[in-house]
Amino acid sequence: MDAGARRDPRPPAERPLETEYRPRERFDMRRTVLSQRRGAGDPTMTTAGAVIWRVSRTPDGVATLALRQTAGGAVRAAAWGPGASWALTQVPALCGAQDDPTGFDASTHPLVADAHHRNPGLRLSRTDLVFDALAGAIFEQKVTGMQAFGAWRRVVQWRGEHAPGPTPKPMFAPPSIEGWQHVPSWIWHRAGLEPPQARTVVEAARRGDTIERTASAAATGDERERIFTSLRGVGAWTSAETRIRAFGDPDAVSVGDYHLAHVVGFALTGHRVDDDGMLELLAPWKGHRQRVIRLIYASGVQEPRRGPRLHPEDHRER
């Protein structure tokens, strides 16, 4: 067999752009960056060994990003696609470089203090990709995580864009803002997303460019809250979840969550509380309430289960 016959018929892989981010303080890349993943099957984010792969739709186009943390703590990043340069510029923020813990006092509660001591590298990640965060949060409204993550996976795979670069498995970027507006009704149904959430995504996409621009320009979480909740079908919970992912908001609290108040109440007092009780418990950390919530989850403290898990019905065949 001659050399020509042995030649790989596939085109050579595009060479990536590369950079290295050196955080100033101790930093846990996996715990920080993987907070952006929507379930283990998220087609926009996965892991392969020590590498985190992320696909996003940047302002410059789709980009695939590969991150690996060295033994010395630096993060080596490679990116492919038209948005590669933007994605590399965003690496520090994705890794929590803009997370400012000034004024945070973990010592006021022993569990929070212990979790803070055991997780010194935990940072709040931000993507600055507002509509992706908003659409994903809408998917998670009033359903189980299993339902939301499954619907997100299907819609992104069916209507998103293939990731550039040598991803370890097929990966996809979410649809564009215009693309979200034109997802057909049968796709939403087959994906398992309820009609109210599907309508909210489509209606939000019609104002998507304005929402992205004004939310990015806003100076405070309260301003962003007003912008997001001006959308029909978007309340305090969806706004908080969007701000957490897109902006790394250290004070956002997802009021109205099915589990969160119970988790916070049990961790801090040993018994359940409602939303008002949760806000009262978190009040001493005003400005850093999301940070405390992340530390509570990192502590591993969980309320014992009191009954069987919810098994949601699947209406897609009806």
* Per-residue pLDDT at 309 exceeds 80: no
Distances (CA, A) of 102 to 121, 122, 266: 15, 15, 27
Kindly report, residue by residue over 217-232, the tens digit of the pLDDT: 999 999 999 999 999 9
Q: Where are the domains of the chain?
A: 15-104, 130-299
Q: What is the mean pLDDT of residues 248-272?
A: 96
- Residue 7 is classified by DSSP as S
What pLDDT is recorded for position 8? 41
Take residue 155 and report the two structure tokens written for it.
């819609």
Q: What is the CATH number of domain 15-104?
A: 3.30.310
Residue type, 109: H
What confidence category does residue 260 fall into, taking pLDDT thresholds of 50, 70 and 90?
Answer: very high
According to DSSP, the residues that pair with 56 across neighbouring strands are 63
**Predicted confidence (pLDDT) per residue in 25-66, tens digit:** 889 999 999 999 999 999 999 999 999 999 999 999 999 999
Please say whether the structural domain 130-299 has been given the CATH code 3.20.20.70. no
The span from the CA of 254 to the CA of 296, in Å, is: 14
Tokens standing for 277?
């009780």
pLDDT band of residue 12 (cuts 50, 70, 90) is low
Instruction: Give the tens place of pLDDT for each residue, 131-173.
Output: 999 999 999 998 888 999 999 999 999 999 999 999 999 999 9
Report the greatest alpha carbon distance in the chain: 76
Residue written as tokens 């701000």? 243
